[in-house]
Amino acid sequence: MSGTVEERYPEHAKQKEVWEESQGVGGFIEWLGDNGYQIAEQNDENGRLYPTMKSTEELLAGFYDLDLNVLEQEKRAMLTEMQSIYDEAGGNQ
């Protein structure tokens, strides 16, 4: 486990930097849905708008340039690291 937490988990470090702001943006997206508004995507062929199928999490990840797959991989690595530390400390003795 060499390097800082930020070095080992750079996508989470990036997520942490934008967390507070993203909570506000996410809240606004949720407010839109709760009040009958929809975020739409434009079909390039005919210019029609269609409700997006992207989740709030996906929209925020796109806006803040976060890779959800990398975040998941890092989360699994963190859990493995935590389990290793727990086991080294004696676990369930």
pLDDT digits (tens, 9 = 90+) for 17-55: 999 999 999 999 999 999 999 999 998 788 899 999 999
Report yes or no: 17 and 6 within 8 Å, Cβ to Cβ: no
CB atoms within 10 A of CB 1: 7
Q: Tokens at residue 6, please?
A: 């930020």
Which residue(s) pair with 49 in the sheet? 42
Q: How far apart are CA 13 and CA 3, in angstroms?
A: 13
Is the pLDDT at 93 greater than 70? The verdict is no
Whole-model pTM: value is: 0.82
For the chain, percent of residues with pLDDT exceeding 70: 97
